[in-house]
Amino acid sequence: MRVDGLSFAYPGAAWALCDVSLEIREGEVVALLGPSGSGKSTLVRALAGLVPHFHGGRFAGCVEVAGLDTRRTRPADLAGTVATVFQDPEDQVVMALVTNEVAFGLENVGVPATEIVLRVEAALGRVGAGHLAAKRTTTLSGGELQRVCLASALALEPRLLLLDEPTSQLDPHGAEEFLAAVAELGCAAVLSEHRIDRALSLADRVLYVEEGRVLLDAPVDEAQSWLVTNRPRYAASPSDVDDALCYRNTESGSVRPVVKLERVSFAYGSTSVLEDVSLEVRGGEIVVLEGPNGSGKTTLAKLAAGLLEPDVGRIERFGRAAYLSQDPGRYLVKERVLDEVAFGVGGNVGRARGALDQFGLGWAAERHPRDLSSGERERLGLAATAVCEPDLLVLDEPTRGVDPDRKTAIGDWLLARAAAGTAVVVATHDRTLPAHRRMRLGGEVPVAA
Amino acid sequence: MSPGAGTALLAAAAAAALLTDRLWAVGAITAVLLVVCLRAPAQRRWPYLIGALTSGLGVLLLSPLLWSSGSGTLLWEGPTIPVVGVLDVSTDEIRIGAVNGLRLAAVGLAFAAYALLLDHDRLVSGARFARRSALAVALATRLVPTLERDAAGLSEAVRGRGVELSGARGYATLLSPLVAGSLERASCLAEAMEARGFGRPGATRMPRAPWTVMDKVAVALAAALVGVAAWLR
């Protein structure tokens, strides 16, 4: 695979990629790092031929995959040679049954009917999802669905596998398993990923992209030295980050409770999610809710924010609560960024502008929210929640798909909110966020000694 | 039962409900379709059932008021409304309103049973022609639960910012973002499908299971149902 002098701009936008040149050899795993909006996803799409064919725009230079020039070969014709797994599995699943989903690509590229069944079984087996074959895709968890997407890509037996932040929806265990499955593949792969430690452990080579330019293209060892010197947040190991960002103030938080959950139980229909859970959060305190997918973190967060009522138990809130859902970029209501933020404060444009400036989005006030990149939308969601200045701030996975720089900024912002007396509850898998207490569902663990 | 045979049977039930004008026959078809729909999981079936039954009920209630048959016993005569005319209700209008309401409910329930109970994937893979259209229909069918989930997410996001939505006007504000979100989702799906070779010439299909005796009986029953309904007109 060869990229030569590639530059690309989406219609009516500035250059997303500038003069990118690189080569990927057979069987090589390349980690693609860089901040949100740096052009990583665009580069992945260019390698799949989706840029320029699907998106349009200005395209210069050349991308060749297995000898095929992507300017003259449509993405559908590259399928099989190239396979792509995108960030959100829900946006790429076509069929209702897992077996049919994995078979979909094979049918499209014309694999003989008798071979399809065998390749579907083999691909599901390779990602440890053989037991899901007869299930409906709508009944799978995010982690299971992402494995099915990987199986769909592997079934094609591609020469180049493109993975665009494939673990952003997964809990740490799910992400480990997913990347372990990728490590077993043997084909060339490009892995765009914000979980840097995992990406580096898997890769042979690292590409670091910023503002559409490749700043680094080097083997892992050499890349790590460069990152330590030039982009230290991209080089830190998770344990280092934990130590650096844990908020070690045992005296933090006032005695004033902002929310008290007493022996709370909750079930969705007949499925029990939480049983006999108690939690008290005081003003100025950050409590992180931890646990694997399906452990009830989101449900507990919604109960704390007052979006759900418990089946059993009692909840008392002393003050106003605000809640930021997972994937807030999907749930935008207004047609102007400024109105989106002002929506929660009765249209107060002055406060909305202040919140936008705080999250570095002042420049986008007049734009349509859906014109923003995914990272910018996440920040817009935070601004729209922060502007309410609640007594209790509840955030559900606020750092999902967020780059290390932005994560640090969010951590600092949480600390500032806590220092101002706000009680903060964060449901997250991310151990780099600051916390006074971490509550693993089933047992509370104080972080500060 | 194979989805092809199931679809034929449901389509025949809907066609029979539209063909016959006997109240008992349309009522029986509607009742059977309702029982079939109740086999679907409770969480998934309620939007379909509410949609189908309220539409039918709406026709049943409004049609006798707004349309004059000129026959039957006059039960009530109300004021004259501009454009609409005299509001009145007669026994004949109630009967015809009931038939039309049940017809609409039957068609809605047949679609609900199709959406909730059939394996659309097998229907797509079984399509001998117009596979793209069959896939488009299958994807459109799956849009309902996705929209439902997105609407719940939007409502939650708004409430999470301290804004309470109330009344039809309040919820109507979510309509535009809901449509914009589903268009965005459709674009992402189209991109993923293109990347997986959709539309490339020379597509093959996974081997299909042969039709069983039950499938053949179902198709015969579907044909008979339409025939009897036409005969009962």
Contact B177 A86 (CB under 8 A): no
Per-residue pLDDT band at A137 (split at 50, 70, 90): confident
Which residue among B181, B202, B204 sits closest to A330, beta carbon to beta carbon? B181
- Residues A247-254 have a mean pLDDT of 48
Q: Which of A127-136, A155-164, B62-71, B168-177 has the highest mean pLDDT?
A: A155-164
Q: How far is CA A335 from the centre of its chain?
A: 24
* pLDDT recorded at residue A104: 93
Nearest CB to B200; choose among A76, A114, A152: A76
Shortest Cα distance from B37 to chain A (angstroms)?
A: 19
Report the candidate in A215, A177, A156 with the shortest Cα–Cα distance to residue A33: A215
- State the smallest CA–CA distance between residue B124 and chain A in angstroms: 9
Spatial contact of A418 and A49, defined as CB atoms under 8 Å apart: no
Report residue A170 as tokens: 């997964």
Asked if B128 reaches chain A (Cβ–Cβ under 8 Å), the answer is no
Residues A333, B173: C-beta atoms closer than 8 Å? yes
Q: Return the number of CB contacts < 8 Å for A and B.
A: 161
**CA distances (Å), origin A4, targets A33, A331, A408, B168:** 19, 38, 35, 56
What pLDDT sits at residue B211? 81
**Cα A18 to Cα A214: distance, rounded to the nearest angstrom:** 8
Of the segments A138-152, A158-172, A300-314, B209-223, which one has the largest average pLDDT value?
Answer: A300-314
Report the chain A residue with the minimal C-alpha distance to residue B41. Answer: A269
What is the C-alpha to C-alpha distance for residues B153 and B216, in angstroms, rounded to an integer?
A: 43
- Say if the Cβ atoms of B197 and A94 lie within 8 Å: no
Cα–Cα nearest to A134, from A102, A93, A167: A102
Cβ atoms A422, A410 nearer than 8 A: no
Amino acid at B134: A
- What Rg value do the Cα atoms of chain B yield, rounded? 22
| Measured distance CA(A262)–CA(A358) in Å, rounded | 36
Of B125, B174, B207, the CB nearest to A114: B207
Phi, psi for residue A49 in degrees, rounded to 5: 85, 0
Q: Which residues contact B57 (CB under 8 A, 6 or more apart)?
A: B101, B105
Q: What are the chain B neighbours of A388 within 8 Å (beta carbons)?
A: 161-162
Query: How far is residue B17 from each of residues A218, B24, B230, measured CA to CA in Å?
Result: 70, 11, 10
pTM: 0.79
Angstrom distance (rounded) from CA A32 to CA A193: 7
Q: How far is B130 from chain A (nearest CA, A)?
A: 15
Q: Angle formed by the axes of helices A172-183 and A142-155, to 10°?
A: 10
DSSP per-residue string spanning B60-121: HHHHHHH---S-S-EEEEEEEETTTEEEEEEHHHHHHHHHHHHHHHHHHHHHHHHHHHS-HH
Structure tokens belonging to residue B222? 């579907």
Q: CA B156, CA B148: separation in Å to the nearest integer?
A: 12
Task: Round to whole Å and give the CA distance between A407 and A215.
Answer: 21
SS3 B8: helix
CB contact under 8 A, B204 and A116: yes
Write down how long chain A is.
449
pLDDT at B73 over 90: no
Indicate whether B28 pLDDT > 90. Answer: yes
pLDDT of residue A237: 54
- Specify the pLDDT at position A189: 94
Top residue of B121, B175, B185, B187 to mutate, by most chain A CBs within 10 Å, is: B121
Q: Which of A95, A114, A368 has the highest number of chain B CBs within 10 A, making it the mutation to test binding with B?
A: A95
Torsion over CA: A343, A346, A347, A349 (sign): negative
Q: Are residues A107 and B203, on separate chains, in Cβ contact within 8 Å?
A: yes
Residues 6+ apart with CB under 8 A from A402: A36, A194, A375, A378, A410
Is the distance from CB of A350 to CB of A365 less than 8 angstroms?
A: no
A305, closest residue in chain B (CA to CA): B160
For residue range B162-177, list pLDDT tens digits in order.
Answer: 888 877 787 888 888 9
ipTM computed for the complex: 0.84
Q: Taking a contact as any Cβ pair under 8 Å apart, which residues of chain B between 64 and 103 contact chain A?
A: none
* Chain B residues 169-188 with CB within 8 Å of chain A: 173-174, 176-177, 180-181, 184-185, 188
Q: Which amino acid, one-letter code, is at A232?
A: P
**Alpha carbon distance B114, B109 (integer Å):** 8
DSSP A291-308: -STTSSHHHHHHHHHTSS
The reply to whether residue B176 touches residue A108, judged by beta carbons under 8 angstroms, is: no
In this predicted model, what pLDDT tens digit does every residue of A332-348 receive, in sequence order?
Answer: 899 999 999 999 998 99
Q: Are A154 and A123 in contact (CB under 8 A)?
A: yes
Q: With an 8 Å Cβ cutoff, are B206 and A84 in contact?
A: no
For residue B196, list chain A residues with Cβ-Cβ distance below 8 A: 79, 83, 94, 104-105, 108, 152, 156
Distance CA A21, CA A60 (A): 12
Q: Supply B83's token pair.
A: 């454009």
